[in-house]
Amino acid sequence: MLNKLLKHDFKATGQVLLPLYGGVSILVLLYIFGWRMVEHLQASALLAGIPRWLAAVGGLFGFLSVLGVLALFICCMVVNILRFYRLLGDEGYLMFTLPVTAAQQLASKLIVAVSWTVGGILLVFLYGFAMAVPLPGSAPMEVYPVPGITTLQLAGALALAALVALAGIACGFLFVYLCCAVGGQWPQHRLVASVASFFIIQFVLQVALMVVMGVAAFGEVTTGWLSGISLNVYNLFNNSLAAVIYAMLGCILLIMVVFGGIVWAVTNHFLSKKLNLA
Q: Please identify, using beta-carbon distances, which residue of 24 and 95 lies nearer to other proteins.
A: 95
For other proteins, which residue of 96, 234, 237, 259 counts as binding (CB under 8 A)?
Answer: 96
Question: What residues contact 138, with CB distance under 8 A and at least 6 apart?
Answer: 43
Question: Which part of the chain contacts other proteins (CB under 8 A), choosing from 24-32, 96-104, 174-182, 240-248?
Answer: 96-104
277 binds other proteins (CB under 8 A): yes
Torsion over CA of 37, 38, 43 and 44, rounded to 10 degrees?
70
CB 190 within 8 A of CB 275: no
Q: Please identify, using beta-carbon distances, which residue of 215 and 278 lies nearer to other proteins.
A: 278
6 binds other proteins (CB under 8 A): no
- Distance, CA of 166 to CA of 169 (rounded, Å): 5
Smallest gap from Cβ 94 to other proteins, in A, equals 4
Smallest gap from Cβ 78 to other proteins, in A, equals 15
Question: Which part of the chain contacts other proteins (CB under 8 A), choosing from 99-107, 173-181, 194-202, 257-265?
Answer: 99-107
Smallest gap from Cβ 204 to other proteins, in A, equals 21
- How many chain residues interact with other proteins (CB under 8 A)? 27
269 binds other proteins (CB under 8 A): no
Question: Which part of the chain contacts other proteins (CB under 8 A), choosing from 85-93, 133-141, 168-176, 220-228?
Answer: 85-93
- Distance, CA of 251 to CA of 152 (rounded, Å): 21
CB 106 within 8 A of CB 269: no
CB 83 within 8 A of CB 13: yes
- Distance, CA of 119 to CA of 123 (rounded, Å): 6
274 binds other proteins (CB under 8 A): yes
Q: Please identify, using beta-carbon distances, which residue of 6 and 126 lies nearer to other proteins.
A: 6
DSSP class of residue 115?
Answer: H
Q: Please identify, using beta-carbon distances, which residue of 101 and 240 lies nearer to other proteins.
A: 101
Smallest gap from Cβ 106 to other proteins, in A, equals 14
Q: Which residues of 57-69 are buried (b: 16+ CB within 10 A; e: fewer)?
A: eeeebeebbeebb
* Helix intervals (H) in 44-150: 52-87, 92-95, 102-132
Smallest gap from Cβ 265 to other proteins, in A, equals 17
Smallest gap from Cβ 240 to other proteins, in A, equals 50
Residue 173: other Cβ atoms inside 10 A: 23
Quick one: how far is CA 230 from the chain centroid? 29
Tell me which residues touch other proteins (CB under 8 A): 1, 4, 7-8, 11-12, 15, 86, 90-94, 96-101, 185-186, 188, 273-277
